[in-house]
Structures are given as structure tokens and as C-alpha cells.
Amino acid sequence: MYNPKSKTAAEFISDSEILSTIEYARENAANRALVESVLEKARACKGLTHREAALLLECNDPDLTEHVFRLANEIKHRFYGNRIVMFAPLYLSNYCVNGCVYCPYHAKNRTISRKKLTQEEIRAEVIALQDMGHKRLALEAGEHPLKNPIEYILESIETIYSIKHKNGAIRRVNVNIAATTVENYRRLRDAGIGTYILFQETYNKSNYEALHPTGPKSDYAWHTEAMDRAMQGGIDDVGIGVLFGLETYRYDFVGLLMHAEHLEATYGVGPHTISLPRLCKADDVDTDDFENAVPDDIFYKIVAVTRIAVPYTGMIISTRESARSRERLLELGITQISGGSRTSVGGYVSPEPEEENSAQFDIADHRSLDEVVEWLLDLDHIPSFCTACYREGRTGDRFMTLLKNGQISNCCLPNALMTLKEYIRDYASPATRAKGEAMIKRLLEDVPNERVRNKASEYLSRIDNGDRDFRF
Ligand code: SAM
């Protein structure tokens, strides 16, 4: 039985509701009047139900698809402007007791090099990340109660926040670790994390069980109800996602939106972010063994319809995607990307020798952070290193309310420009610096509130003079 307010996975992710939604979308995809009425509703920027979104995704009319792409772009600009938040993953450990068949960390893999960073090694990684210009990290680790207990993760977070190298600082640590207990989520919250991120991988229970044959992650309900426990533990920014390519995209697209509806219905605030990773080749993982690969054109549509269905949610694309694909996806609703990423454990300090491979997957965008920043500037996106919201207590429904009523732009634009200024003063190449300075000069005028604009102008001059970390 489908019940978005239930705390039970089988009820808020109802298999029968997903199947009947897919059927409904198939039957009605050619009904132009119905699709147009959904697009009309979407124009109000209040989001769509999973059924309406599934209908848009299924519709193949080229005109209407173009309309979907245009609307996704407009909605993104309305809530997020052209700011793109930058982050990098930091892999702490690839020891793992699970049996996930698509992930090379799985316990039976004997070819991958197993590594776990010491606190000293974490320091070195963080200094390397700070020297690139990063301010926001996503911590990644395999699930291993003995090698990677929660105490290790907590200690690592403390280490990361404590390092201030030159003008560098990691100001927001998001955490992507396995589903855990309410008590552990509380400890993560007390450690000052930003978003707790957990990918569902797939919402299809029987496929989930086949893909996760062993280990604690094999428990579908434990994994699917993780965000409920995180909320109970006081973490109010949670990030969801599926790994596209494991299950049919139709099933997981609907499941993902149902999960967002569940969080909104139950806690009054939907997910802070949605990640949209696609399965990649990895150490002993061959993508040809998976039959549900999502082609580019469909993936672009998935991103665009997600943007329309959940207009207020941040949307993340990693370096799993190529520069070309990321360029297109930025036009369709993506608000956060990683840059200069390494998916190997310890990879920021030194590239791994040929004979070692601790990486989780092969990335497709190998550019440095500076190259990504310059590319964003060329495309007229504002690379933002902002971390102000959660540091100012704007999390959960407080953040969403400000975003929904548009007030956030008085904070976001100046914060983006100030953190871009810090980046170009401290880390940028001369070409990136010149382009960044020109953008800052041009866009400061767009800050709506005069008082904030004047204050931002003063802060920008102070950054030129060596001061750091201003925020609204
Ligand atoms: N161990 C944690 C967990 O169980 O959720 C942390 C997640 S792992 C470090 C980060 C994510 O990488 C996984 O949730 C999965 O979706 C993704 N991943 C694993 N193998 C992948 C592959 N071959 N290609 C792309 N992404 C992959």
C-alpha cells in the first residue's frame, strides 16, 4: 500500500505504485493535451508529483521535449541563478564488508589495493585540496565496522575542520557513508557535518537484494529508511540519489521522486540535494555486465524533468560525467559539480603508481579545478565556493523557505562572488583570475538589495587586501 507519510520503506516506496505510474506514463505519453497541462502546472515552479514527472519523461514528442529542456533551464535560473557550487570527494578508506556487485570495494575483490588514511595522511590530503582552492568536501568511505567505525569518521571530520593551511579552510564537510543508527547520525550532526548523503543505488527491492547479496547493506529496509533515522538524529540536510544503470531508469526515477515526496510529507522538508550518478567502469566492474545503461539523451531528460519536479532541490553531477556531458547538464538544472576529483584513497597528494589501484571508479572529467573554474566562467556560470547557509543556521526548512520565496538570492549571489574572489586571489591561474574579476565586477550590480550590495562591495575590497571568510 502506498503511503508517503509512512516510516516503512515498503509503504513510502511502493512497488505497485511505481509499476502503475510507469504504466500510466506509457499509456498517456502521446496525449499532448495532458502533457501540456502538466507543463503548464510546472511553470508555477511548485514541483510535480511522481506521476506527472513520469509522464513528462515518457513523452517523446520533440517539441514537448524541447519545452521540458527550456523550462528546466528557466526554473534553475529562477531559484539558483547561474551559480554552480563546487566540491570535491575525499576518499578516506576503501575497506568494505559489503558485497555490492557494481562497486569494486566489495569484500571479495582481491585485485583492488586496500587503503585507509591515517589522520596524518588526511591532513596531507586536506592541505592538497585547500591548495587547489576547495572549501567543501564530500567524505567517502566503504562500510567496515572494524576498519572504519564511526569514531574514525568523527575523528577525521575533526581533523579536516582543524586544518588551516595558508588562506585555506574546509568549511563544509558533507558525509557519504553507509546507513547507520540514529545515535550515530546524532554524532555526525554534533561533529558539524553539512549534508548526509546516501545513494539508494536502486529502489527496486528484489533487484537491490540481488545487487547487494551480502553484508549489512543487503538489508533493503535498513538502507531505504536511513534518511528517516538521519532526520531523527537531527540532520536536516540530507542528499539522496540512485546509481543509474543498475535498474531500469523508469523505475528508479519514480522511486527517487517518491523518496523526495516522502521526506517532504513526513518532515516538511524534501532532500537538500539529489545526486545523479551513472554507473562507471571500475577495477573489477565491467559496465557491459549491466543491461540498464542509460544513454545520454535519456539521461539529459531525466535531469531536466527532475529539475522541474523538485525545483528547490540542489542537483549534483560528479566527474563520472565527461566535460561535454556536464556542459549540457548544467543547462538542464544541475547546481553542484565536483572538480579536480580523485577517487583513489590518498590520490590528492600523489597519483597512484600503475600497479596500485584503490579507486572506486574511473572518472570521465580529468581537468584540474582551475580548468573547471575557467570553463564555468567561459560558459557564464558563476563558480561558487560558498558554504554560508549551514554555517548561518540556514538548514532544513529554514533554507527551503528562503529559497522558495526568493529571498535567498540576497545572500547567495554576494556569497558566490565573495568566495569566487577568494578563489581567484589565492589559487587561480592568471587567465582564470582575469575572467573571474570581470565577472565579479559585472554581477555585483545584480545584487537586488542596495545595502547588501554596498556591504558586498566593501567585503570584496577587503578580500583584495587579504581578509577572508565574509558571508551573508
Ligand atoms: N559505503 C557507502 C555506502 O554504502 O553508501 C558509501 C558510498 S560509496 C563510497 C559512494 C557511491 O559510489 C555509492 O553509493 C555508489 O552509488 C557509487 N558507486 C559505487 N560503484 C560505482 C561505479 N562502479 N560507478 C559509479 N558509481 C559507483
Kindly provide the b/e burial profile for residues 245-262, where b requires at least 16 CB atoms within 10 angstroms of the residue's own CB: bbbbbbbbbbbbbbbbbb
Contact call for residues 136 and 174 (beta carbons, < 8 A): yes
pLDDT of residue 13: 98
What confidence score (pLDDT) does residue 202 get?
A: 98
Residues of the chain short of pLDDT 70, as ranges, are none
| Predicted pLDDT of residue 317 | 98
pLDDT of residue 247: 98
Pairing mode of beta strands 196-197, 273-275 = unpaired
Looking at the fold, whether 264 and 338 belong to one and the same domain comes out as yes
Q: Is 90 in the pocket of ligand 1 (CB under 6 A)?
A: no
Q: Is the CB of 283 under 6 A from ligand 1?
A: no
Residues 141 and 221 both lie in one domain: yes
Using the atom order of ligand 1, give the atom closest to the CA of residue 201. Answer: 16
Query: Are the beta carbons of 201 and 100 closer than 8 angstroms?
Result: yes
Distance CA 284, CA 152 (A): 27
Q: Is 191 in the pocket of ligand 1 (CB under 6 A)?
A: no
Ligand 1 centre distance from Cα of residue 112 (Å):
15
Task: Indicate the pTM of the whole model.
Answer: 0.97
Task: State residue 78's pLDDT score.
Answer: 92
Q: Which of 366, 382, 408 is the last residue of a domain?
A: 366
Question: Is residue 424 domain-shared with residue 361, that is, in the same domain?
Answer: no
Query: CATH number for the domain including 238?
Result: 3.20.20.70
Tally: H helices and E strands in the chain: 20, 9
Q: Which of 150, 198, 202, 243 to mutate to test the pocket of ligand 1 (most atoms within 8 A of CB)?
A: 243
Task: Show which of 76, 91, 109 is a domain's final residue.
Answer: 76
Dist. CA 103 → ligand 1 center (Å) = 6
Q: What is the CA radius of gyration of the chain?
A: 21
287 lies in the same domain as 181: yes
- Please report whether residue 1 resides in a domain: no
Q: At what angle do helices 450-464 and 430-444 cross, to 10 degrees?
A: 160
Determine if ligand 1 sits within 6 Å of the CB of residue 316.
no
Give yes or no for residue 170 CB within 6 A of ligand 1: no
C-alpha cell at 231: 532526520
Statement to judge: residues 70 and 87 lie in one domain: no
Domain identity same for 175 and 231: yes
Domain that holds residue 36: 14-76
Tens of pLDDT, residues 255-290: 999 999 999 999 999 999 999 999 999 999 999 999
Same domain? 51 vs 136: no
Q: Are residues 310 and 410 in the same domain?
A: no
Distance CA 225, CA 217 (A): 12
Q: Give the pLDDT score at 238.
A: 98
Report pLDDT for 404: 81
Domain count, the chain: 3
pLDDT confidence of residue 195:
98
